[in-house]
Structure 1
Amino acid sequence: MQDSFSFTQNKNGAIDVWYLTLTCPVNKGTKDHYYFLYLLTDSCGFKTENNADFRAISNVANYQPNTVVLREMPFTIPVQCTFPRFFHSYKVGFYPEVKGGTVLKELSPKSSFTLTPQDASGNDITVTKSLLYIGQQMYFEAKKPEHAAAPTGAMRMYINKCFMTASQDYTSTPKYTVIDNFGCMIDSKVSLQSKFITGTSKTSQKFSMTALIFKDKVSTSSASQQIYMHCDISIGAVTPTAKSKACNYDKVTKKWKELYGDDSPPAVKPPAPLQVLRRLPGIWSPVTLGSMAAHKDYLQHWDMTIKTNM
């Protein structure tokens, strides 16, 4: 008799396969799923229980990223499947709705520039607090207020750097860099959803990223967390330079691409230690998350398959 065990996980949100284990790592993947395909004789920590009427197989699925920020909540899921001895195979699947935490953000600029949250259609979000889930796409537009004088000549807006902190003090730690090196979308090397976006006018600049939280600030006793975003924004010539640009990282070519087609100016190097120029302090708060106990239904987000060849 040769038994095998397969455990299937939907590719949802921003789960990083490197941190997903069922004692053994993921060993197969498709466009939509990750798979653990192992024989029960493999050293993957399988536990079997034999009874007169059924057989039970158990293990533990873990997702424990060690990154500074989280785009999906960590979890540990005990997996146990039982099946009657009268059947050669048994299959059961769970298809629940994924419910993460909520993110409430409030932006209060204090300079001549504004950083405005928007929806996917480019409409300004006018409410003070907006509801978001961890891993959900966020959109921002940096621009001058409507009452401000228009720049003379052909000018372009640049977002030189943006970073997030868990405290209103921009010198505090932990700190997560989103944009750095005079306009490089550093987070685009981590997430495909993080990128500068072209617009109808170069006197404003849009970008997007996914909602996230700081890992070491997650608390099982608190339902909320505050996150602050700090940005350095400037106006310059239309033609980009090494110190004025908007570049996204192309994972296919492994090169940086200037937003409006001129790839020569960036001369991208590893980002230097962040030096804060706090021209635009934006406040992004609070981030409200459900407690870890509220995620006890995570088991329902998985497809599980037990295969037995007898």
Structure 2
Amino acid sequence: YTPVAVQCQEAQLVVTVHRDLFGTGRLINAADLTLGPAACKHSSLNAAHNTVTFAAGLHECGSVVQVTPDTLIYRTLINYDPSPASNPVIIRTNPAVIPIECHYPRREQVSSNAIRPTWSPFNSALSAEERLVFSLRLMSDDWSTERPFTGFQLGDILNIQAEVSTENHVPLRLFVDSCVAALSPDGDSSPHYAIIDFNGCLVDGRVDDTSSAFITPRPREDVLRFRIDVFRFAGDNRNLIYITCHLKVTPADQGPDPQNKACSFNKARNTWVPVEGSRDVCNCCETGNCEPPALSR
């Protein structure tokens, strides 16, 4: 016996309420239960189990979303407002409000497989309940398809597409927080080279002999493209590089800020330029400190 059970699915939440809500044996009226500030009605009843089920999109019925550094939190509630019994002067149960939360990690680390001399396309994704599906793909020159197995020469360009599969989820905007190239899957191994750093600054584009940059405009909010001039590690004869990227999302209606941005360096103007948002979100790319200020106590 569970009075209230919650399932947090990719695009919706499902709440099942037992009609013996208070554990007294007295069954409540299904019509007295609603979901969220918008007071949505139940989706189904199970007479055999005496349960009432609500199913709604994460953004429906007046739910609110909170963004923390690591999580998207969708908050709503179950309202129980008892109607009068046969005698309208009295009621025999108390009203109740039951808070409901669904938590979704908004960050994921995705890595290339070993990129060998053939520089084969790489794709890594994690899919599980209550997780978003992130991926990286090596794309053709016109971005229309994944690039087939082929070799790269120094002087060529890597077209990389980062994406999150949103399906019916609340609209999300994808960011690449960081990307590091190394000779092993461990991005902290030595030597390593930062391609994107400081919460979305494409620092490789700051180097004199590169054209590395984010591609603007985005094809969709949940896709971010960038190009990188091909390189190898000096003094190492292995034609093998691993690229590890940290991807994250924010709600699409949340404006970019210094911690959630995509900034390229424009050499002609000698300044950092964002894919979207005001230019001041990129100011910290030059200082290398894009962390939010510490909260004072």
TM-score of the superposed pair, with normalisation by structure 1: 0.49
Greater share of residues in strand: 1
Where in structure 2 are the equivalents of 1:244-283 lying within 5 Å?
A: 244-260=260-276, 262-268=278-284, 269-271=286-288
8 Å contact from structure 2 (residues 198, 289) kept in 1: yes
CA distance in 2 between partners of 1:209 and 1:108 (Å): 17
8 Å contact from structure 1 (residues 246, 258) kept in 2: yes
Is 1:234 matched with 2:248? yes
Distance 1:207 1:184, change over 3 A: same
8 Å contact from structure 1 (residues 118, 124) kept in 2: yes
Which letter maps to 2:122? L
Distance 1:165 1:251, change over 3 A: same
CA distance in 1 between partners of 2:247 and 2:277 (Å): 21
Query: What is the SS of the residue equivalent to 1:176?
Result: strand
Is 1:136 matched with 2:156? yes
Deviation (angstroms), 1:134? 1.3
Query: What is the SS of the residue equivalent to 2:159?
Result: strand
1:125 maps to 146
Match of 1:207 among 213, 226, 237: 226
CA distance in 2 between partners of 1:216 and 1:271 (Å): 27
Cα deviation code 1:102-139 (max 9, x no counterpart): 55234141422110111111122254x32211120110
8 Å contact from structure 1 (residues 103, 211) kept in 2: no
Where in structure 2 are the equivalents of 1:24-103 lying within 5 Å?
A: 103=118
8 Å contact from structure 1 (residues 185, 248) kept in 2: yes
Q: Which stretches of structure 1, 4 residues or longer, exceed 6 Å deviation after superposition?
A: none
Query: What is the SS of the residue equivalent to 2:279?
Result: coil
CA distance in 2 between partners of 1:102 and 1:136 (Å): 13
Structure 1 gap ranges (5+):
1-100, 219-223, 274-310
Which letter maps to 1:195? A
TM-score of the superposed pair, with normalisation by structure 2: 0.51
Residues matched between the structures, number: 164
Deviation (angstroms), 1:149? 3.1
CA distance in 2 between partners of 1:149 and 1:125 (Å): 20
Which letter maps to 1:189? R
8 Å contact from structure 2 (residues 164, 174) kept in 1: no
Query: What is the SS of the residue equivalent to 1:200?
Result: coil
Query: What is the SS of the residue equivalent to 2:222?
Result: coil
Distance 1:176 1:272, change over 3 A: farther
Which letter maps to 2:146? I
8 Å contact from structure 1 (residues 116, 124) kept in 2: no
Deviation (angstroms), 1:207? 0.2
Structure 2 gap ranges (5+):
1-115, 127-132, 291-297
Cα deviation code 1:37-63 (max 9, x no counterpart): xxxxxxxxxxxxxxxxxxxxxxxxxxx
1:27 maps to none
Higher CA-based Rg: 2
Match of 1:170 among 187, 196, 201: 187
Query: What is the SS of the residue equivalent to 1:264?
Result: helix
Deviation (angstroms), 1:262? 1.9
Higher relative contact order (CA 8 A, sep 6+): 1
Is 1:195 matched with 2:213? yes
Cα deviation code 1:208-231 (max 9, x no counterpart): 01111101212xxxxx52100000
CA distance in 2 between partners of 1:195 and 1:206 (Å): 9
Distance 1:106 1:117, change over 3 A: closer
